[in-house]
């Protein structure tokens, strides 16, 4: 696989992109998924671990089978996943995307920003 589709990912959506097999094969993101599906290369994977933007989606099944995409639901992770993740973070291979930081006194504003779903990354509230 090559990397032609990676450039299609809007800058605000680049929460976490993993490259494998020489090209874009997996995107991890929680919102605006139809645009990300379009960015996956042939044989790419999409993993869903929640329904923060709602449980119902519209999908043209031709996109799924004509591009040999794999869709996975994920609720329970294997025991090695957390230690691998910590290793990736410690090595600098991945970094969490920070959307905003709020002091605890602005908790209402932080919650409003979260509910608005206009952010990419984590919203942090500091005590």
Residue 97 contacts residue 15 (beta carbons within 8 Å) = yes
pLDDT tens for 13-46 read 544 444 444 454 444 544 556 667 777 778 888 8
Q: Give the sign of the dihedral formed by CA 16, CA 29, CA 31, CA 112.
A: negative
Residue 116 contacts residue 8 (beta carbons within 8 Å) = no
Non-local CB neighbours of 26 within 8 Å, separated by 6+ positions: 17, 18, 20, 40, 44, 45, 46, 47
User: Looking at the chain, which residues constitute the CATH 3.40.50.720 domain(s)?
Assistant: 5-95
pLDDT tens for 74-110 read 777 788 888 888 898 899 888 778 889 999 999 999 9
Which class does domain 5-95 fall in? alpha beta
Structure token digits, residue 18: 């993993």
User: pTM for the complete prediction?
Assistant: 0.44
d(CA 106, CA 65): 46
């Amino acid at each position: 696989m090559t990397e032609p589709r990676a450039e299609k990912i809007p800058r605000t959506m680049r929460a976490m992109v993993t490259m494998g097999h020489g090209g874009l094969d997996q995107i991890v993101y929680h919102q605006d998924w139809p645009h990300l599906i379009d960015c996956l290369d042939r044989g790419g994977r999409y993993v869903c671990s929640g329904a923060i933007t709602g449980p119902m989606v519209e999908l043209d099944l031709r996109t799924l089978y004509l591009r040999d995409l794999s869709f996975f639901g994920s609720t329970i992770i294997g025991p090695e996943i957390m230690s691998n993740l910590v290793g990736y973070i410690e090595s600098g291979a991945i970094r969490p995307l920070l959307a905003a930081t709020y002091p605890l006194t602005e908790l209402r504003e932080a919650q409003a920003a979260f509910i608005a779903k206009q952010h990419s990354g984590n919203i942090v509230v500091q005590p």
